[in-house]
Amino acid sequence: MAIDDLQQGTLLPLTVTDAAERLRVGELTSVALTSALIARADALDPMTGTYVTRFDDHALAQAAQADADFAGGIDKGPFQGIPIGIKDILAVAEGRTTANSLILDPEWGAGREGPVVRRLKEAGAVITGKLTTSEFAIGSPDSSKPFATPRNPWNLDRSPGGSSAGTGNGVAAGLIMAGIGTDTGGSIRIPAAWNGVTGLMPTFGRVPKSGCVPLGYSLDHIGPLARSARDCAAMLNIIAGYHPSDESCADRPVDDYVGALTGDLSGVRIGIERTNHFPESSDPALRGSFDAAVAVLAELGADIVEVTLPLYNEVTTALWVMMSAEALAYHHNDLGGRWADYYALTRANVSRGALASGADYVQAARVRRVAQQQLAELFSGVDLIVAPTSATGAISHEAMLGRRLGNFFKTVFTGYWDAVGNPALVVPMGFTDDGLPLSLQLGARPFEEGLALRAGDAFQNLTDWHLRLPSLLTESAAG
Amino acid sequence: MDDMTEAMVRSAVFAAGLSPSEEEIASLVEGYADYRAGIDSLYAVAETRYASPALTFSATPVFADWSE
């Protein structure tokens, strides 16, 4: 297949799984695919603000190597020759890490990379560049700083969410096939939801987080964003697993997440959580989209029951208290000396850590422990818990700038799962009346990512929400 | 905003070595009541009475280099 076919959209939407098959039967080369995505980035990135740094030459060299490996009979798995991006708070040897900030020492991580990036390279992935993040994964765009404002490809006047903004909008706009994000309060799942793609926050400790600038030490997760649950499963197969450099990393076997995708949910007990997920400010289309998604899960064989997450508000508060405190500890000295160099929202969110005591921090950790125990009891009766990811579609840039974390988590339902440590997958489930993606969140027991991915994949076998494309991409491809 | 809340917020942020603007202090003061109420609700969770915090510590130090 020629590069022109990709640029003109004849293969859109293209999942990693689709591309991997085409690479193996000779219908596509990695160089052609990578070149097409580079050309698309030339056209769209000035609007989407996806990249902080691009590695075009390195990427094309990696792609050529992947093609040579295919020709030589070397197959490193489904990400061989697949162009992906890395959120710019993980070190990648080809370029500096900025965390979208003036603050981070340019020497941090220089020429180095942690286990996640290294595993992806060893699997043959083509790293196209470093992707925009909210500053240190907690700020918001700030026009006074020399970084692009990321925008939502479904509506450029809307936020792509954060903090893994570039990974979410890059997958949605077709600039990358998949990418790496991080999640401390929802930073994989919010941009996945608002950009209409799929994202997985693995169990805390399932994926080593070393080689990544920390936000909240007890809360940080690294995970995949891609168009489909199957693509996320394939990426998790690569990045999951113990590494001694992360003291919270779990030393236990890694499941075969792709092998778990049976397409069937017979006998799976799914708890539906409405109590904490439909505030008055919910989008009018949310309830209908959610009910339709639940009906699809039932059609797939799942047994549906109603549940209520224990200690929902308290757990969300605990997250907020601990994240701000842990972030303040990391940034304390820089904030003291370089206050004005930080983004305004970073300053606001992190300085809140000074308003809680050490005892408050420990009490928040005790609430997390109790909530884990009560949630485990709830999971004795169900296998998955399903709810909307966000009460609305993507909000405006102005609303993102003005948000307070406490209020934000009243309409974005991700933080609970970070605080308890369980995995959570989000998949597109419909659209608002004004064309913005809505999203379904599936929480699972610790280390049962495979079941969440199985349900997400089965759902995507019967729906095509994850394959819908923003007009920004389709018009670009057609033009 | 009441004077006591403002004084407490100013004291806390300056004790932490931070130097927010007056506008930023006003924002922190404005949000403080909700923040404090949320924290107070954590102490009202009866089941935490004998719970240990979800924090871990190992006596074995970690020296592994993440880039290896």
The secondary structure of A99-143 as a DSSP string is: TTSS-S-TTTTTT---HHHHHHHHTT-EEEEEE--SGGGT----T
| CA–CA gap between residue A259 and residue A253 (Å, rounded) | 15
Confidence label for A8 from pLDDT (cuts 50, 70 and 90): low
From first CA to last CA, the distance across chain B in angstroms is 53
Q: Which of A15, A29, A436 is nearest to A258 (CA)?
A: A15
pTM above 0.90, yes or no: yes
Chain mean pLDDT for chain A: 96
* A94 SS3 class: coil
Collect all residues with Cβ–Cβ distance below 8 Å to A270 and sequence separation of at least 6: A294, A297, A302, A303, A304, A305, A382, A383, A384, A385, A386, A455
pLDDT of residue A188: 98
Q: Percentage of chain A surpassing pLDDT 70?
A: 97
Question: Residue A7's pLDDT is what?
Answer: 65
**B contacts of A354 (beta carbons < 8 Å):** 12-13, 15-16, 18
A341 touching chain B per CB within 8 A: no
> Which residue in chain B has the smallest CA separation from A374?
B47
Q: What is the pLDDT of residue A424?
A: 99
pLDDT in tens, A115-153: 999 999 999 999 999 999 999 999 888 888 999 999 999
CA angle A396, A402, A403 (to 5 degrees): 90
Q: Any idea which of A137-146, A188-197, A216-225, B4-13 has the lowest mean pLDDT?
A: A137-146
Do the beta carbons of residue A157 and residue A185 sit within 8 Å? no
pLDDT digits (tens, 9 = 90+) for A54-70: 999 999 999 999 999 99
Distance from CA of B1 to the nearest CA of A (A): 16
Distance from CA of B6 to the nearest CA of A (A): 12
Question: What is the pLDDT, as a whole number, of residue B1?
Answer: 57
**What is the DSSP annotation of A390-445?**
BSSSPPBHHHHHT--HHHHTTTB--HHHHHH---EEEEEEEE-TTS-EEEEEEEES
pLDDT digits (tens, 9 = 90+) for A288-332: 999 999 999 999 999 999 999 999 999 999 999 999 999 999 999
pLDDT in tens, A74-123: 999 999 999 999 999 999 999 999 999 999 999 999 999 999 999 999 99
- Residue A435's pLDDT band, with cuts at 50, 70 and 90, is very high
Is the CB of A311 inside 8 Å of chain B's CB atoms?
yes
Flag if A114 and B51 touch (Cβ within 8 Å). Answer: no
Mean pLDDT of A354-363: 98
In angstroms, the separation between the Cα of residue B5 and the nearest Cα of chain A is: 11
Of A359, A365, A326, A216, nearest in space to B53 by CA? A365
**Residue A1 scores a pLDDT above 60:** no
Instruction: Reply yes or no on whether A163 is catalytic.
Output: yes
Percent of chain A with pLDDT over 90: 92
Residue range B47-55: mean pLDDT, rounded:
96
Chain B residues touching residue A328 (CB < 8 angstroms) = 16
The whole-number pLDDT of residue A241 equals 98
pLDDT: is B60 or A72 the higher one? Answer: A72
Residue with tokens 């440590």: A421
A98 touches chain B (CB under 8 A): no
